[in-house]
Amino acid sequence: MAQHRWTAERIADQTGRTALITGANTGVGFHTAESLARRGATVVLACRDAERAEQAAARIRGTAPRSRVVTLPLDLAALSSVRAAADQLHTMCSELDLLINNAGVMWAPPGRTRDGFETHLGINHLGHFAFTGLVLDLLRDTPGARIVTVTSPAHRSAQLDFDDLRFTRRYRPAAAYARSKLANLLHAHELQRRLVASGSALLSVAAHPGAARTELNRSMPALFRGPSWGLWRPFTHTAQHGALPILRAATDPEARGGEYYAPSGPGEFSGHPVVRSSSSGSHDTGAQRTLWEASEQLTGVPYDFGPSDE
C-alpha cells in the first residue's frame, strides 16, 4: 500500500538543481513549482503572462523564503517566443535538471496559433516539442536530469490523423484536446527511445494530474464548470494534490524512462500517484516516428542528441 500513498514529503532535497515548469503561474504547475522550491530547487516559471508569473513567483517566495524563483516569458502559441525563451534560458543557466512541460489548453474553440497550427496541438504539443529540442543541450549531459511531459487520460480516446494535423475537418474541441494529449505521449515515448539509442542517461517520463480543480476547465461545457462543477467534486481533487504525479515523475529515484504516472483511483481521476500503463496507441512506434518527423518539419526544430545521434 505504501506506493499508493506517495506525497510531496517524499521529495528529496533539490538543492543545487534547476527546474523549469511551463505554465507555472497557476494550477498544478504552480504547486509543482512551489513544492520543488520548498525542497531547495532553483525554479524557473516559464509563462505567457509575465505579470501573473511574477505574482506567482512572489507567492512562492512567501512560502519558501530561501528559494530562488525566476520567471521566463514563454508563449507556446508562437514559435518566435519559444525560440526567444530558449535563447534567454541559455543565458540564465548552463545546466537544467528538470524540464516539466505542463502548460496547456483544453476544449478551446476553433482557433490557430501564431504559426497557423490548430490551438491544442500547437500549444500542448508543438510548442513543447520545439522548446524541448532547443534546450536539450542543457539537459542532455546533466546527471540525473529528466523531462516530464504532462498528459491526460483523454489520450485513450484519441487517434491522430496525420493527413489533417491542423484539424481542418469536423473540428470538435474534446477530440482536438485528446489528440494533443496523445501527441504528448507519443513524443515522450519516442524521446525516451532516441535518448537510449544515443547513449544519454537523460530520462523522458510522462504524468497526468487527474481531475484536478484548476482554471483549465474554463472552456468546458457549463456542466463541468461554475456552479455545476460541485456535482463532480467527489470525483476530483485539489490542484495541489494533482501536482503529485508530476512531482513523483520528476523526483522519484526509482522512476524509469518511458513510465507514465497517474492517480491511483478509478478512471485515474483522483488518488495518490502510481505507475500506470498508457494506451496501446501511445506505444505505436510507427505513429511515434511519424509524429516526430512531422513535428520537426512543422516547427523547424531538429533534436541534437550528441555524438551518438542516429
Query: Which residue among 177, 260, 261, 303 is the active-site one?
Result: 177
Cell of 96: 537544467
Contact 134, 126 (CB under 8 A): no
**Using an 8 Å Cβ cutoff, are 98 and 148 in contact?**
yes
C-alpha cell, 155: 489520450
**Strand 68-73 relative to strand 98-101, pairing:** unpaired
Concatenating the DSSP letter of every residue in 59-109 gives HHHHHSTT-EEEEEE--TT-HHHHHHHHHHHHHH-S--SEEEE-----SPP
CB 212 within 8 A of CB 237: yes
Per the annotation, the verdict on 177 as an active-site residue is yes
Query: What is the DSSP track for 184-245?
Result: HHHHHHHHHHHHHHHT---EEEEE---SEESGGGGGS-GGGSGGGGGGGGGG-EEHHHHTHH
Enumerate the active-site residues: 177
